[in-house]
């Protein structure tokens, strides 16, 4: 058993003990049935990081042949191009030490996330988020200085921790209200996450449809981060999901992105 698997087993036993302590043992199977391993994203402010590090905020480390993404909006006969806000980047090797991540994602390269940042909120942004996958010589990566007026955030290093995602928002509504005591403990805090089951804070056609959700992979759930100035509307959360078929083909052209506010 790998070290992270032992940690997941410890977490599972902990919630089992909590369920039993609340007298809800008869609902244990229902509460735990949807669990999937995921990676919790911890953030640590860092003024300086090696080029190509996994991080949130700062400047993206892009190769020369990758263009910075923009949103193209039509205003009459004159389209307007708005550069998106850089949100995060993964060095995929940092995730490859977890078997469930290796099975879901490319094992190397860089994955970049862009969105509308503070301009968004409580809207579905299927055309307003971008994910770029790049694989090549990391020596070609360079910090990209965005143009004036593009919103940026303080830079924070990413550390990945294995956790369970429980899918409590998909539970049968017939379960007794007493189960809320358990589910509330695991859904009340802001959560940055990769893989597993997302935790929607607003109604969502995709994330509340279990059959659709099974056909997608959560690339990033990014909550508001006051300490680096990261926000989506009013204390909102950004979600990036990709169809499993597209992910198998490393096709990131049709990633589903949604920003939601509390």
For residues 242 and 12, give the distance between their C-alpha atoms in angstroms, rounded to a whole number.
Answer: 27
Please provide the size of the chain in residues.
Answer: 262
> Which has more pLDDT, 63 or 183?
63
Give the pLDDT confidence score for residue 183 in this predicted structure. 83
Residue found under tokens 């940092």: 94
Confidence label for 123 from pLDDT (cuts 50, 70 and 90): very low
What is residue 107's DSSP assignment? Answer: S
The residues with which 163 forms a beta bridge, in sequence order, are 38
Q: Which of 201, 240, 185 is nearest to 41 (CA)?
A: 240
For residues 38 and 129, give the distance between their C-alpha atoms in angstroms, rounded to a whole number.
Answer: 22
The predicted-structure confidence for 50-97, as pLDDT tens digits, reads as follows 999 999 999 999 999 999 998 876 655 656 778 899 999 999 999 999
Give the pLDDT confidence score for residue 120 in this predicted structure. 43
Lowest mean pLDDT among 14-28, 67-81, 105-119: 67-81
Give the rounded percent of residues in the chain with a pLDDT score beyond 90: 56
Confidence label for 103 from pLDDT (cuts 50, 70 and 90): very high
Provide mean pLDDT across the span 184-206. Answer: 81
Name the 3-class secondary structure at 165. Answer: strand
pLDDT reading at 126 higher than 60: no
Residue 81's CB is within 10 A of a number of other CB atoms, namely 8
Provide mean pLDDT across the span 162-182. Answer: 83
CA 99 to the chain's CA centroid? 18
Provide mean pLDDT across the span 232-254. Answer: 87
Provide mean pLDDT across the span 209-228. Answer: 88
Confidence label for 12 from pLDDT (cuts 50, 70 and 90): very high
Give the pLDDT confidence score for residue 74 in this predicted structure. 62
For residues 60 and 57, give the distance between their C-alpha atoms in angstroms, rounded to a whole number.
Answer: 8
pLDDT reading at 20 higher than 60: yes
pLDDT reading at 262 higher than 60: no
Give the pLDDT confidence score for residue 121 in this predicted structure. 42
Give the rounded percent of residues in the chain with a pLDDT score beyond 70: 88
CA quadruple 120, 188, 215, 106: dihedral sign: positive
Residue ranges per structural domain of the chain: 38-167+192-260
Of 3.40.50.970, 2.102.10.10, 3.40.50.300, 2.30.320.10, the CATH number of 38-167+192-260 is: 2.30.320.10
**2, 13, 95 from 6: Cα distances, Å:** 7, 11, 17
Residue 158's CB is within 10 A of a number of other CB atoms, namely 23
pLDDT reading at 200 higher than 50: yes
């Amino acid at each position: 058993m790998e070290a992270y698997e032992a940690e997941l087993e410890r977490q599972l036993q902990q919630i089992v003990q909590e369920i039993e302590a609340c007298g809800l043992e008869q609902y244990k199977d229902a509460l735990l049935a949807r669990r999937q391993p995921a990676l919790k994203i911890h953030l640590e402010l860092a003024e300086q990081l090696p080029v190509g590090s996994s991080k949130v905020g700062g400047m993206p480390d892009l190769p020369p042949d990758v263009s910075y993404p923009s949103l193209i909006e039509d205003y009459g006969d004159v389209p307007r191009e708005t550069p998106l806000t850089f949100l995060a980047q993964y060095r995929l090797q940092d995730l490859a030490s977890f078997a469930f991540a290796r099975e879901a994602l490319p094992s190397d390269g860089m994955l970049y996330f862009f969105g509308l940042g503070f301009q968004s909120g409580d809207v579905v942004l299927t055309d307003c988020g971008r994910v770029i996958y790049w694989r090549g010589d990391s020596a070609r990566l360079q910090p990209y200085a965005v143009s004036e007026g593009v919103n940026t955030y303080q830079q924070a290093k990413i550390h990945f921790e294995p956790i369970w995602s429980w899918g409590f928002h998909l539970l049968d509504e017939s379960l007794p209200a007493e189960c809320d005591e358990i589910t509330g403990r695991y859904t009340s805090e802001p959560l940055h996450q990769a893989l597993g089951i997302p935790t929607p804070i607003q109604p969502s056609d995709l994330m509340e449809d279990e059959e659709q959700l099974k056909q997608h992979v959560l690339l990033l759930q990014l909550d508001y981060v006051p300490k680096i100035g990261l926000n989506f509307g009013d204390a909102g959360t950004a979600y990036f999901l990709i169809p499993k078929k597209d992910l198998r083909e490393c096709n990131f052209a049709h990633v589903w992105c949604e920003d939601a506010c509390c």
